[in-house]
């Protein structure tokens, strides 16, 4: 049998083939499909109903509301009504309304394991790759086909291997690794490739940090991001109630061919900040240091996991936010919020002047209280800073790690977080 990368092995299994090669087109059986309130019942669900066919397997469909929650706008309210009604009509049991952001909820609820072939109706569905699963984002039309047939065609992607050496220094996080990569190869630098992360620095990362890497594979234009499972994977999934996690079967072959390998010196990496209005505008924090910000936002699937909140707490403990800067924190899920409260993390953030917002996509997509004002400059732990995404077109958004966002909240300007540790 020919040698294969981890992504190729998962695709081969889903296609019922002994092996696959980059460029080959195969039809894959879907192990799990995920939709949220924006992409799901009001779009793909509507198309499926127009076809008049049933869902191929209700047990393999997960629906989560996170985009248009906590919003009194009539359009948002109507979206929730459509979602709840469709779920009730179809008898969907895997439904998680207003419990957190879809990409973080999926593993929390035990739906993700190594070796699964999954699709999600959201570009950041690539997050599941942190657990050794192959998950791609698809549009409403493709999702409709999956709902009807349980299958999807795939052109086997080439693999871009990212080797992060050493150990990250205090004040440097996975967000800095992926922003460094965005700056190095650009937002289409891994177009249609599977980005496979490895190296000592990645092996030393928690699962929260690994999820940041795979989440933002989407910002590289990648088909997906993936990390080989290990003991950290097993331990995390056990905490979520998953057992019988097969690690050995889902490892790429050492001699498998990859399109390219990029080495990043993790030990020598400085905090990174992406300037408006593209993640590829990333550079060492020194390039943007001193820029005044009117808002610091810790939120989204990328930057409001438990480890992110802990990072921010390290920076702000015993300090007060700048009087000229709004500071918002929106934990990614209720579970994360509750643990952070139990650990005293939320109190540290609140004592520093942060306002804790409900879970949901919110400020990342320019909804709710964390929407940037006209002409406002902000910094966020989210994954995208395109013009008009987080607020009016006149607003400007910088991207950074939770460390960097918290440092900016305290000083009122973009600051190297290592100065506050």
Number of Cβ within 10 Å of residue 46's Cβ equals 14
Q: Judge if pTM exceeds 0.95.
A: yes
Q: Given a cut of 90, is residue 136 above it in pLDDT?
A: yes
Count how many Cα atoms sit within 13 Å of the Cα of residue 96 in the half-sphere of its side chain.
27
Residue-wise pLDDT for 373-402, tens only, equals: 999 999 999 999 999 999 999 999 999 999
What counts of helices (H) and strands (E) characterise the chain? 14, 18
Q: Dihedral of CA 358/362/363/364: which sign? A: positive
What span, in angstroms and rounded, lies between the C-alpha atoms of 385 and 215?
A: 15
The distance in angstroms from the start CA to the end CA of the chain is 51
What span, in angstroms and rounded, lies between the C-alpha atoms of 44 and 144?
A: 5
What span, in angstroms and rounded, lies between the C-alpha atoms of 173 and 400?
A: 10
Determine phi and psi for 26, rounding to 5 degrees.
-135, 160
> Any bridge partners for residue 298, and if so which?
329
Number of Cβ within 10 Å of residue 286's Cβ equals 12
Q: Is residue 375 classed as helix, strand or coil in its secondary structure?
A: coil
What span, in angstroms and rounded, lies between the C-alpha atoms of 195 and 181?
A: 11
Pairing outcome for strands 377-380 and 295-298: parallel
Q: Given a cut of 80, is residue 1 above it in pLDDT?
A: no
What span, in angstroms and rounded, lies between the C-alpha atoms of 210 and 193?
A: 18
Asked if residues 124 and 383 have their Cβ atoms less than 8 Å apart, the reply is yes
Q: Given a cut of 90, is residue 25 above it in pLDDT?
A: yes
Q: Is the peptide bond before 277 cis (omega within 30 degrees of 0)?
A: yes
Residue-wise pLDDT for 291-329, tens only, equals: 999 999 999 999 999 999 999 999 999 999 999 999 999
What span, in angstroms and rounded, lies between the C-alpha atoms of 234 and 128?
A: 14
Q: What is the mean pLDDT of the chain?
A: 97
Q: Given a cut of 80, is residue 12 above it in pLDDT?
A: yes
How far is the CA of 277 from the CAs of 23, 205, 282, 290, in angstroms? 33, 28, 10, 18
Determine phi and psi for 224, rounding to 5 degrees.
-160, 170
Question: Which CATH number applies to 6-264?
Answer: 3.30.499.10
What span, in angstroms and rounded, lies between the C-alpha atoms of 333 and 128?
A: 16
Rounded to an integer, the average pLDDT of 269-290 is: 98
Residue-wise pLDDT for 339-349, tens only, equals: 999 999 999 99
What is 273-420's CATH superfamily? Aconitase, domain 3 (3.30.499.10)
Pairing outcome for strands 282-284 and 272-274: antiparallel
Q: What is residue 239's predicted lDDT score, i.e. its pLDDT?
A: 94
Asked if residues 173 and 212 have their Cβ atoms less than 8 Å apart, the reply is yes
In the DSSP assignment, the letter for residue 223 is S
In the DSSP assignment, the letter for residue 178 is H
pLDDT band per the 50, 70, 90 thresholds, residue 3? very high
> Any bridge partners for residue 295, and if so which?
326, 378
Q: Given a cut of 90, is residue 165 above it in pLDDT?
A: yes
In the DSSP assignment, the letter for residue 83 is H
Nearest-10 Cα torsion for 238, 244, 248, 250: -90
Q: Dihedral of CA 410/323/303/185: which sign? A: negative
Q: What is residue 367's predicted lDDT score, i.e. its pLDDT?
A: 93
> In the chain, what are the domain boundaries?
6-264, 273-420
Rounded to an integer, the average pLDDT of 332-336 is: 98
Q: Rounded to 5 degrees, what angle do the CA atoms 36, 329, 227 make?
A: 55
Q: Dihedral of CA 201/399/122/192: which sign? A: negative
Q: Rounded to 5 degrees, what angle do the CA atoms 309, 312, 315 make?
A: 155
pLDDT band per the 50, 70, 90 thresholds, residue 242? confident
Q: Is residue 68 classed as helix, strand or coil in its secondary structure?
A: coil
Q: What is residue 203's predicted lDDT score, i.e. its pLDDT?
A: 98
pLDDT band per the 50, 70, 90 thresholds, residue 336? very high
pLDDT band per the 50, 70, 90 thresholds, residue 243? confident
Q: What is residue 244's predicted lDDT score, i.e. its pLDDT?
A: 85
pLDDT band per the 50, 70, 90 thresholds, residue 210? very high
Residue-wise pLDDT for 51-105, tens only, equals: 999 999 999 999 999 999 988 999 999 999 999 999 999 999 999 999 999 999 9
Q: Annotate 340-356 with DSSP letters as a single string.
A: HHHHTHHHHHHHTTPEE
């Amino acid at each position: 049998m020919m040698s294969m990368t981890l992504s190729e092995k998962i695709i081969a299994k889903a296609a019922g083939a002994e092996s696959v090669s980059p460029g080959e087109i195969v039809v894959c059986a879907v192990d799990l499909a995920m939709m949220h309130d924006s992409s799901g019942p009001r779009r793909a669900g509507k198309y499926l109903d127009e076809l008049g066919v049933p869902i191929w397997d209700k047990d393999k469909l997960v629906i989560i509301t996170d985009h248009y929650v906590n919003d009194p706008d009539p359009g948002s309210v109507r979206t929730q009504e459509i979602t709840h009604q469709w779920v009730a009509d179809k008898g969907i049991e895997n439904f998680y309304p207003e419990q957190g952001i879809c990409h973080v909820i999926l593993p929390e609820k035990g739906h993700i394991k190594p070796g699964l072939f999954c699709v999600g109706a959201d570009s950041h569905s690539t997050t599941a790759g942190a657990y050794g699963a192959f998950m791609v984002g698809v549009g409403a039309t493709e999702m409709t086909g999956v709902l009807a047939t349980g299958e999807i065609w795939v052109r086997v992607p080439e693999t871009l291997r990212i080797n992060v050496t050493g150990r990250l220094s205090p004040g440097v996080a996975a967000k800095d690794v992926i922003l460094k990569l965005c700056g190095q190869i650009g937002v289409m630098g891994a177009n249609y490739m599977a980005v496979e992360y490895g190296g000592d620095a990645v092996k030393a990362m928690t699962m929260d940090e690994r999820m940041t890497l795979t989440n933002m594979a989407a910002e590289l234009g990648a088909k997906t991001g993936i990390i080989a499972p290990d003991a950290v994977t097993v331990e995390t999934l056990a905490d979520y109630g998953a057992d019988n996690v097969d690690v050995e079967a889902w490892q790429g072959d050492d001699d498998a061919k990859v399109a390219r390998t990029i080495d990043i010196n993790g030990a020598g990496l400085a905090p990174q900040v992406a300037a408006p209005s593209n993640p590829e505008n990333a550079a060492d924090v020194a390039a943007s240091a001193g820029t005044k910000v009117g808002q610091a936002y810790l939120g989204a699937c990328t930057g409001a996991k438990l480890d992110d909140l802990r990072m921010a707490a390290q920076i702000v403990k015993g300090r007060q936010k700048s009087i000229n800067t709004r500071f918002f924190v929106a934990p990614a899920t209720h579970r994360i919020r509750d643990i952070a409260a139990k650990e005293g993390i939320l109190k540290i953030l609140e004592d520093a002047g942060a306002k804790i917002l409900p879970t949901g996509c919110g400020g990342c997509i320019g909804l709710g209280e964390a929407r940037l004002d006209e002409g406002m400059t902000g910094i966020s732990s989210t994954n995208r800073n395109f013009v008009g995404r987080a607020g009016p077109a006149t607003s400007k958004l910088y991207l950074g790690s939770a460390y960097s966002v918290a440092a900016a909240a305290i000083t009122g300007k973009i600051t190297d977080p290592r100065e506050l540790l």
